[in-house]
Structure 1
């Protein structure tokens, strides 16, 4: 029976019948969901404690979570900007940053292999920039001079010369 109805709907007469039904305002009101109905459904779903497990299950799906994040991204930005201006929120953030346990965890994270690899990658990328490289070399030269090693600049030239010579002899 189901297959027969589907087959009939795929015919020209079936399509015309559906189009005729959609023109009927009473039928449309029963079939089409209004903005108010959508709003009420979403609101009820988000606020109903009984729906929490289903929402969590739904948001555990990566595609759904990504779409939800995209849909609410602008609202989140506005909320964060408002919170950043809130003195109570600022105080809480400062308290978190000053917390010795937070500092300990942050340092532990920075000591991780992944973190060190990321830092090295960032440094390598930065040194590819000629302007940054020049500034870095200047700072290194100044640091050598401040340590009481007036030949700091010449030793770095010597080191780079050695690496060039070493590179040339191994080729």
Structure 2
């Protein structure tokens, strides 16, 4: 389900950028990139944009369409991403911290919605219980967790996470917020100290 969603999500992104490219083809490559990035980033950041994408992907007819035409959707996305004229454009888009952050957050929100729906589905819950109660599955999971391949994969995943623009943006946000909190606390303490000194002088 998530795999199909990712391809269709990319297809929506390709469609949006294609529309912008066609409408602003006379403004030059740099202006075209900037306008496209701004439009797509605004859509991904806005609550209305996120809601619209979630509604489209959550629609049953849409789900049937992108499951049935999964190969066609994948081919369309791959052609757009690998075409010579599109390589530079997409390279710029996915190395731009602002865009990658907005795209990642939108993907996370959509995946959370999918997982929430699945977890509340009784049939899905029953299947998951059957799966995890299977002794063979227990043995397979235990073996995978102990394997060197899994340890290597986990290490690579951690390194990729630490290097991702979304993680860097979140860490920066936390650091800035904590720094502001510390400054506010120091200001409050300083005001209290000054107030106490003034009271002593008045006495």
TM-score with structure 1 length normalisation?
0.31
Quick one: higher RCO (CA 8 Å, sep 6+), 1 or 2? Answer: 2
TM-score, normalised with respect to structure 2: 0.27
Structure number, greater radius of gyration = 1
